[in-house]
Structure 1
């Protein structure tokens, strides 16, 4: 698994040897960041359910000012920190070992304002909708902020939270 573009293009990221984590694929990251283009530069980006941190590190590589990683698994936290060190991005990252709901509440308590929230939770557990509803309740997304959720194609997902 490698970084697709930006200052860290081509860097190989570490990932777990077992199948307990499903990192966001290079193809998906490439498509996502091609769509976002240069709008990622100088933004605050949240990698929720961070896993290996690939999406957030891709954002840093493409110019995000700060990336927050939320992940509850210790082995993944270690991998995220190793990948940040390897790519020289530690100074622009905050890594929290915390479950996603507590993590979102913590970000609100710390008055974070996010430009982008990327979530790629385990499939078929209803975590996308739970996350979206929680994000909608909390004052963590900038006015024109964007939430991007990768999910299983048969999972029904809330599409509009404009209330």
Structure 2
């Protein structure tokens, strides 16, 4: 596992011990950033179900200003801190040990909106539609923001969830990716 591009290109990242966490493969990571980037001039991201922190760190390496990492597993939290330190990104990151729903409620109280939200929950416990509904209804995604959902290929997410609209969907081996944007109410798109 490594950072693919940007300021930390080639930097190896530590994986979370055990088999509870499934790291995003380099091929899938490259696909994600080819769709949403590949580079950024600024912005804030949320890496929910962060695992090793690979997606958020990749986003920081490619130009995001700040990323909030959330995971409920203590081994994952230790790994995220280790990987952030390896990349000298501590001042650009916040790391929280919490479950997704409680973390989103806490973030909501801070009046934050994210340019990019990475959702990669454990496949057997996915509640992606519920999470997307909450994120949209609480206005946690910025007007030009993107939500990236990683899931098994048998998951089919709806075309629309509130004001979120599916922008792209694709399968990459056993991994499915679905991207959402907010519908522009003035243009209807």
Q: Kindly report structure 1 stretches of 4+ aligned residues shifted beyond 3 Å.
A: none
Say whether 1:68 aligns with 2:64.
no
The answer for the alignment partner of 2:180 in structure 1 is none
Gaps of 5+ in 1: none
Q: Which has the higher strand share?
A: 2
**How many residues are paired up?**
163
2: CA distance, partners of 1:84 / 1:3: 11
Comparing 101-110 with 118-127, greater Cα deviation is found at 118-127
- Tell me: CA distance 1:75–1:106, structure 2 relative to 1, closer, same or farther (3 Å): same
- Offset at residue 158 of structure 1 (A): 2.8
TM-score (norm 2): 0.82
2: CA distance, partners of 1:75 / 1:151: 22
The answer for the alignment partner of 2:27 in structure 1 is 27
Q: Which has the higher helix share?
A: 1
CA RMSD of aligned residues (A): 1.3
Task: Write out per-residue CA displacement over residues 11-70 of structure 1, whole angstroms, 9 at most, x where no aligned residue.
Answer: 000012321100111111111112222563311111111000000000000010000111
Q: Which has the larger radius of gyration?
A: 2
Higher relative contact order (CA 8 A, sep 6+): 1
1: CA distance, partners of 2:117 / 2:14: 22
